[in-house]
Amino acid sequence: MNTAMARRLALGDRVTWAGKNNYQPSGPGTITRITAHQVEVLWENETARRYRRTQLHNLRHWKLICEQKAPIPTPS
């Protein structure tokens, strides 16, 4: 699963942290580097952090979370 997630990530992708541990970034981040074993994310108003592939399940694509669905028309 983690390898599949790493294959979906690309440089410049916007991500957010969805983990439930004590670390919660202040906002979305941008992927700045991808290596065979790590992904580096530059968080807004913070420094860049590197994550091992075992931690990738905590990253979510920002566009998938922030997209809003069209309002459902209500019958009058």
Residue 34 CA, distance from chain mean position: 13
Question: Rounded mean pLDDT of 32-45?
Answer: 88
Q: Give pLDDT, residue 10.
A: 85
Q: Classify domain 2-62 at the CATH class level.
A: mainly beta
pTM for this prediction: 0.69
Distances (CA, A) of 22 to 3, 11, 13, 31: 25, 26, 24, 21
Residue 1 pLDDT grade (very low, low, confident, very high; cuts 50, 70, 90): very low
In the chain, where are the structural domains located? 2-62
For 3-27, the pLDDT digits (tens) are 666 667 888 888 888 877 667 777 7
* pLDDT over 80 (residue 38): yes
Contacts of 36 (CB under 8 A, 6+ apart): none
Over the range 43-71, which residues count as b (16 or more CB within 10 Å of their CB) and which as e?
Answer: beeeeebebebebbebbbbbeeeeeeeee
